[in-house]
Amino acid sequence: MEALIEKLKEQIIKQLNLEDITPADINEEDSLFGEGLGLDSIDALELIVLLEKEYGIRIENPKDGQKIFFSIKTMAEFIQEHQKK
Amino acid sequence: MTPQITAFCHIKKNQVFLNGKSIFSAGSEVDMREFVKAAFRNTGTKYTKFFKMDDYSKLGFLAAEVLMKAVDVSTIEAKSTGIVLSNNHSTHTTDQLFQDSIQSDEAFFPSPSVFVYTLPNIMAGEIAIRYHFTGENAFFVSSAFDPDWHTFYINQLFESKKISACLSGWVEMDDQHLEAFVYYVEKRNDQQNELMQHTVEELNNLYKINDK
Amino acid sequence: MAVRFVSSNIISSLGFSNEENFQNLLHAKVGIQTIDDPLLYPAPFLAACINPSGLDERWKDTNQKKVATTRLEKLLILSITEALSKTKINISSSRTAILLSTTKGNIDLLNTIESIDPERLLLWKLGEFIGHYFVNPNPVRVVTNACISGVLAINTAAMMLKGKRFDHIIVVGGDLVTRFVVSGFMSFLSLSETPCKPFDRDRDGLSLGEAAGTLILEKTSFPEKGDILFAGGATANDANHISGPSRTAEGSVIAIQNAMSEAGFAAKEIDHINAHGTATRYNDDMESIAIQRLGLSESPVNSYKGSWGHTLGAAGIIETATLIESMKTDTILPTAGFHTPGTTEKLIVTKEPLSKPLNTCLKLASGFGGCNAALVLNKK
């Protein structure tokens, strides 16, 4: 799980062009949207692409996104449950 | 009264000029995209969204950031400040980036954050958000910067009282080069600087002022 | 001095002429269909596409010059040719200019192998090609400002006619349904899985469409009774978000206010509004808020996108051309796809054709980048 969380942090930084942020800056329990990393609606769509591209997971209902993408931890948990590759 | 150009910024060949004076440069061996990021960091502005933008919006945003530092904030009427920009390639290099993400059927991952930037007016949107400029917007495409067209179009906007000021210019990039020439023009009651009137001749002169 | 509209043409999924399109819209026909073409998108999707054999036939008849053209160029040339044929205007005159509105132009050249100069990917090259085809001596101005391009182009044309250089401006616009555009909108999860439902309570996204349209504007000192005139136009930015509209409709409100102010009309004088009406939840709510804020809620509203889909760079042109036809016949067209009201603010949305004297009307548009545009038409 730890390794997945670290890998996710790096992937998110790369996919979302968070240039001045390092994995150490992201706390796995912090909210990604709103106060935490301050991601916006386009970032949310990119995270859907990231899940498919890197982990082969398709989100059928985008409204689930809020729960899945709440924090790095919730994302990692979701991936572990659903990963196909 | 002819509107006046309050400030102008030119970015080309890894150099940033403000009102004709070089304020930042990098060696010619530095990649032009890295130069833009370095130039932005050099402005001292903290704006994490900058690094999410595509190359065209980064260039336009940088040019606007440098430019606006030379404008007296107390004179800005954001509500009626317009943004009128133009270029040659529209968003060609970003288009190619998006095309790469959809080219093959096997690795088909269209990127929304790249797609949204495949419209050149997005850079105006980013500038508008930064400065709360809610005035007239227009983006035109032409083979070269056209002072004739810019002065005609913008002066007409002033004439019909649709704007009180305008951030305008040329923000262009292809695979090898980039260039931005942006200026801030406003209607002022005091004709302070005769050499910076928003006329075809003057705009042309300012555009060429750093030609070597 | 006034600016009047003297001719137009529409080529879309619903026909190759204004008459054909108008009749289809009058009957709320829907040009949006399932497209199953893996070259366009890996899965079936909905879009309103132009009939390819109809295009080929007409192009064979028209292409006297036998030049190699892209699909978009064929459409633009055909559209201008048809609109011109209804007038005595000399398109090669130095007092006539062409203005092109498009968001992505020949973007399909990115992934097709054609014997076309790849430089025609550049929008100004596309404009230049069209200008040369018609032997017009003036630079073709190219407006590319997301989905407000068409309305902005019309506003710009009116501005050009206020000067001394031109007597006629031919505004032409077009955009195609391409892999590029379909994939992009899909990645935004903004496409509906059924033909779009503008302003409807159950709307869930837009449908794409392709079209080409032409509007010819003329300067005149003596407008005649019944002429439809360009009365005013404006654009404004929300300054809020690059892909979602302002929740309080800031930019739309400013654009409408400025357009109405230039035109010299108050809210109660607006007989009808043809909205942008893309059928996304956000856009339609935003427009309802703008309309309510400006005291325009009593003016019947419609959207043509339930019939044509969202035709991007062509939208402002074909929709304004249809609004003009509406005004000439005093008929507000129905909104295909609309059944049950469901926007933040209440709107009067037409479900059936509505006969009403239409003297002053408003056209709205909004687009990515927070841009908004409005124009006011007035009948002499």
Q: What is the CATH number of the domain that holds A60?
A: 1.10.1200.10
- Which chain C residue shows the shortest CA-CA distance from A44? C188
Average pLDDT, chain C: 96
Q: How confident is the model at residue C113 (pLDDT cuts 50, 70, 90)?
A: low
Tell me the three state secondary structure of residue B85.
strand
Q: Which residue of the set C49, C310, C361, C371 is catalytic?
A: C310
Per-residue pLDDT of chain B (212 residues; tens, 9 = 90+): 889 999 999 999 999 999 999 999 999 999 999 999 999 999 999 998 999 999 999 999 999 999 999 999 898 999 999 999 999 999 999 999 999 999 988 899 999 999 999 999 999 999 999 999 999 999 999 999 999 999 999 999 999 999 999 999 999 999 999 999 999 999 977 766 666 999 999 999 999 998 86
Provide the Cα torsion C345, C351, C352, C355; round to 10°.
10
Distance from CA of B81 to the nearest CA of C (A): 9
* Tokens 């304020």 belong to residue: B23
How many residues belong to chain A? 85
Element of type H or E holding C371: strand C371-379
Q: What is the distance between the alpha carbons of residues C147 and C364, in angstroms, rounded to a whole number? A: 11
Query: C-alpha angle C294/C295/C298, rounded to 5°?
Result: 135
Average pLDDT, chain A: 89
CB proximity under 8 Å: C 202-241 to A: 241
Q: Which residues of B touch C42 (CB under 8 A)?
A: 105, 108
Model pLDDT, residue C308: 98
Q: How confident is the model at residue C2 (pLDDT cuts 50, 70, 90)?
A: very high
The residue segments making up the domain with residue A67 are 2-82
Q: Which residues of C touch A48 (CB under 8 A)?
A: 189
Domains contained in chain B, CATH given: 4-208 (3.40.47.10)
Answer yes or no: pTM beyond 0.90. yes
CB contact under 8 Å between A42 and B116, yes or no, is yes
Model pLDDT, residue A62: 80
Residue A85: pLDDT over 70: no
Lowest mean pLDDT among A76-85, C75-84, C101-110, C348-357: A76-85
Q: How far is Cα of residue B40 from the mean position of the Cα atoms in its chain?
A: 14
Output the CA torsion sign for B186, B80, C314, C217.
negative
Q: Which residues of B touch C127 (CB under 8 A)?
A: 141
CB contact under 8 Å between A45 and C244, yes or no, is no
Look up residue C28 and give its DSSP letter: T
Model pLDDT, residue A34: 77
Check if C147 is active-site: yes
Q: Which residues of B touch C244 (CB under 8 A)?
A: none
Closest partner residue to B51 (CB to CB) among A20, A45, A49 is A20
> Residue C309: how many CA atoms within 13 Å on its side-chain side?
33
Distance from CA of C261 to the nearest CA of B (A): 10
* Tokens 């006011």 belong to residue: C376
Model pLDDT, residue A19: 86
What the block records as the tokens of B62 is: 């940088």
* Tokens 């930015």 belong to residue: C237
Residue A84: pLDDT over 60: no
Q: What is the distance between the alpha carbons of residues A51 and B39, in angstroms, rounded to a whole number? A: 34
Q: Which residue of the set C49, C168, C196, C276 is catalytic?
A: C276
Work out the average pLDDT over A6-32. Answer: 91
Work out the average pLDDT over C195-208. Answer: 98
Q: What is the distance between the alpha carbons of residues C297 and A14, in angstroms, rounded to a whole number? A: 47
Closest partner residue to C152 (CB to CB) among B90, B138, B146 is B138
Closest partner residue to A45 (CB to CB) among C187, C241, C242 is C187
pLDDT in tens, C225-271: 999 999 999 999 999 999 999 999 999 999 999 999 999 999 999 99
Element of type H or E holding B171: strand B165-173
Q: Which residues of C touch B175 (CB under 8 A)?
A: none
Work out the average pLDDT over C153-158. Answer: 98
B168: which strand partners?
B84, B183
Distance from CA of B194 to the nearest CA of C (A): 25
Q: At what angle do helices C179-187 and B92-102 cross, to 10 degrees?
A: 80
Closest partner residue to C369 (CB to CB) among B124, B133, B136 is B124
- Which chain C residue shows the shortest CA-CA distance from B133? C239
Work out the average pLDDT over C326-352. Answer: 98
Q: What percent of chain B has pLDDT over 70?
A: 97
Model pLDDT, residue C346: 98
Q: What is the SS3 assignment for chain B? A: CCCEEEEEEEEECCEEEECCEEEEECCCCCCHHHHHHHHHHHHCCCCHHHHHCCHHHHHHHHHHHHHHCCCCHHHCCHHHEEEEEEECCCCHHHHHHHHHHHCCCCCCCCCHHHHCCCCCCHHHHHHHHHHCCCCCEEEEECCCCCHHHHHHHHHHHHHCCCCCEEEEEEEEECCCCEEEEEEEEECCCCCCCHHHECCHHHHHHHHHCCCC
Model pLDDT, residue C145: 98
Domain count, chain A: 1
- C240 interface with B at CB cutoff 8 Å: yes
Q: How confident is the model at residue C117 (pLDDT cuts 50, 70, 90)?
A: confident
- C254 interface with B at CB cutoff 8 Å: yes
Distance from CA of B125 to the nearest CA of C (A): 4
Check if C272 is active-site: no
Distance from CA of A49 to the nearest CA of B (A): 7
Q: How confident is the model at residue C64 (pLDDT cuts 50, 70, 90)?
A: low
Element of type H or E holding C262: helix C250-263
Domains contained in chain C, CATH given: 2-220 (3.40.47.10), 228-379 (3.40.47.10)
